[in-house]
């Protein structure tokens, strides 16, 4: 078994060419007290790929989707087979990731201006502790690269943008890099299911197509621009002459999906004349025509392979620079995507099954400990902070309640035992242990229960047959949260 990723593997798998669009840099970073000396510790690289399903990665057992660069990184990493974010979706996950503190249940949540009015969606406080701030205070150079429309542009996330030495934010997922009028309505219609040919969806798709040049030149794709700019920011990190902590947060493969033709050709029949499911509704899948529904997972696969290729461009240069032997690398996603599974599409909060809530999660140490091995410890994004802080010899702030996963790299167990995990999405929550998977809303109604021993695919709801189990699970979650009942905010 090969022990590392080499340049040839990355260059052979990645997309051709490196280019990018304009990056917008945030306000000047907030000064911090200078460290008395340059810290002696490894670098930290955290890579986030939005909306990447666990089961759509080759290293996790998928045999038909091509993710050679993610798979190569997995061969150098400890791979988590039961990683479930404790708070979802996009913004709640990143609060969890950065503060390393449980976000669900949303006991203190209040709607935030200019953010979706869904429980858990809020900004980052100016004084909130993050692991990036902790490392910067210790003397690390810190950076963040993203096209995430909320972290990059929403005013409530300005404290994050000011808290690092360099924050590179890229438009494209939002905003207008080019006029929408440069794309015809006929072209926009082609990339949407017939049921979604409404003014709202057509306007959004038209702008997206304009921003990426209608997918003709993959260098204009959002993931290409993110990882290209990440190389520029990596250069800034190296010039600082200090250990660095860098987050590269790509919104791809989030919808809409218009991957370049060479990736579509890997999976899709080019003779198809119907409409492409380049976006989906968060609802039952019956609105899709037969051809649209059949092409949906394949189009998503093409977007995944494209994101993987541009990740490969970045990692190839990272290895060429000789940084791999001195850097902790974490790769993870924030949630998955329902692609017609169980008769649904999108990210419906009541369908908290693995297709939506299980994510890829790799932890790579500079020494490549336990490379290519896996663990079934229940991991979550809020574990990243305590893990990388411990591995860099940095004190873990008391506000962080995630688990330090680094003992697993030596065959030991984390201090925090996790015989079960639970988390929330909007008004719904899930629970999982070795035997049971449960889904309910905050009122503890609409309960579903699945016996993972006899039904690992979670097809048969056995809630009526195991009412005492439902009560035991609910009480267990309440004890873990210290609450008398879970929050419920009504229909939103």
- According to the model, what pLDDT value does residue 40 have? 86
- For residue 161, the SS3 value is helix
Distance of CA 395 to the CA centre of its chain: 26
Sheet of 374-375: strand order equals 23-25, 166-170, 141-146, 244-250, 43-49, 327-332, 361-364, 78-80, 374-375
| 7-408 CATH fold | Alkaline Phosphatase, subunit A (3.40.720)
Does residue 420 contact residue 163 with C-beta atoms inside 8 Å? no
d(C-alpha 282, C-alpha 270), whole Å: 27
What is this structure's pTM? 0.94
What is 289-342 written as a DSSP string? -HHHHHHHHHHHHHHHHHHHHHHHHHHHHHHHTT-GGGEEEEEE-S---EESGG
Tell me how crowded residue 142 is: count the other CB atoms within 10 A of its CB: 28
- According to the model, what pLDDT value does residue 278 have? 98
Domain boundaries, the chain: 7-408, 427-492
d(C-alpha 142, C-alpha 473), whole Å: 41
- Kindly give the confidence (pLDDT) of every residue in the chain, 492 residues in length, as a single tens digit, with 9 standing for 90 and above: 333 343 333 333 333 323 333 445 545 666 655 555 788 899 999 999 999 999 999 999 999 999 999 999 999 999 999 999 999 999 999 999 999 999 999 998 999 989 999 999 999 999 999 999 999 999 999 999 999 999 999 999 999 999 999 999 999 999 999 999 999 999 999 999 999 999 999 999 999 999 999 999 999 999 999 999 999 999 999 999 999 999 999 999 999 999 999 999 999 999 999 999 999 999 999 999 999 999 999 999 999 999 999 999 999 999 999 999 999 999 999 999 999 999 999 999 999 999 999 999 999 999 999 999 999 999 999 999 999 999 999 999 999 999 999 999 999 999 999 999 999 999 999 999 999 999 999 999 999 999 999 999 999 999 999 999 999 999 999 999 999 999 999 865
283-284 vs 327-332, strand pairing mode: unpaired
- For residue 269, the SS3 value is coil
CATH 3.30.1120.10 fits 427-492, yes or no: yes
Distance of CA 477 to the CA centre of its chain: 25
**Nearest to residue 146, comparing CAs of 48, 21, 212?**
48
- According to the model, what pLDDT value does residue 39 have? 84
Q: Which residues contact 62 (CB under 8 A, 6 or more apart)?
A: 55, 56
């Amino acid at each position: 078994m090969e022990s590392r990723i080499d340049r040839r593997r990355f260059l052979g798998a990645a997309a051709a060419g490196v280019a990018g669009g304009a990056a917008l840099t945030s306000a000047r970073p907030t000064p911090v007290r200078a460290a008395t000396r340059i810290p002696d510790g490894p670098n930290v690289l955290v890579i986030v790929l939005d909306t990447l399903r666990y089961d759509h990665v080759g290293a996790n057992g998928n045999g038909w989707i091509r993710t050679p660069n993610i798979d190569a990184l997995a061969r150098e990493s400890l791979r988590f087979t039961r990683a479930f974010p404790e708070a979802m979706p996009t913004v709640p996950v990143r609060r969890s990731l950065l503060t390393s503190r449980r976000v669900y249940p949303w006991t203190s949540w209040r709607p935030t201006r200019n953010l979706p009015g869904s429980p858990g969606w809020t900004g980052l406080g100016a004084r909130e502790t993050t692991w990036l701030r902790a490392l910067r205070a210790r003397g690390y150079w810190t950076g963040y690269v993203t096209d995430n429309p909320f972290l990059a542009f929403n005013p409530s996330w300005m404290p994050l943008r000011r808290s690092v030495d360099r924050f590179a934010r890229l438009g494209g997922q939002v905003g207008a890099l080019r006029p929408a009028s440069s794309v015809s309505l006929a072209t926009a219609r082609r990339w949407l299911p017939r049921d979604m040919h409404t003014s709202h969806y057509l306007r959004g798709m038209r702008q997206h197509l304009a921003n990426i040049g209608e997918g003709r030149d993959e260098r204009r794709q959002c993931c290409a621009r993110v990882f290209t700019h990440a190389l520029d920011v990596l250069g800034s990190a190296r010039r600082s002459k200090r250990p660095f902590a860098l987050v590269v947060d790509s919104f791809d493969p989030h919808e809409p999906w218009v991957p370049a033709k060479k990736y579509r050709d890997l999976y899709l029949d080019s003779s198809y004349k119907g409409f492409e499911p380049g976006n989906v509704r968060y609802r039952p899948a019956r609105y899709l025509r037969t051809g649209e529904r059949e092409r949906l997972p394949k189009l998503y696969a093409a977007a995944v392979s494209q994101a993987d290729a541009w990740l490969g461009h970045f990692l190839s240069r990272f290895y060429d620079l000789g940084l791999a032997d001195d850097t902790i690398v974490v790769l993870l996603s924030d949630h998955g995507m329902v692609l017609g599974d169980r008769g649904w599409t999108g990210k419906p909060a009541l369908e908290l099954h693995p297709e939506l809530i299980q994510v890829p999660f790799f932890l790579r140490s500079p020494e490549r400990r336990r490379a290519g091995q896996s663990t079934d410890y229940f991991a979550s994004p809020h574990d990243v902070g305590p893990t990388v802080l411990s591995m860099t010899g940095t004190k873990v702030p008391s506000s962080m309640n995630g688990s330090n996963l680094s003992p697993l790299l030596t065959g030991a167990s984390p201090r925090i035992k996790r015989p079960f995990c639970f988390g929330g999405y909007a008004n719904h929550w899930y629970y999982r242990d070795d035997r049971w998977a449960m889904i309910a809303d905050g009122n503890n109604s609409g309960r579903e229960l699945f016996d993972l021993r006899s039904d690992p695919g979670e097809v048969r709801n056995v809630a009526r047959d195991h009412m005492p189990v439902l009560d035991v699970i609910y009480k267990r979650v309440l004890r873990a949260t210290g609450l008398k009942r879970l929050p419920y905010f009504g229909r939103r």
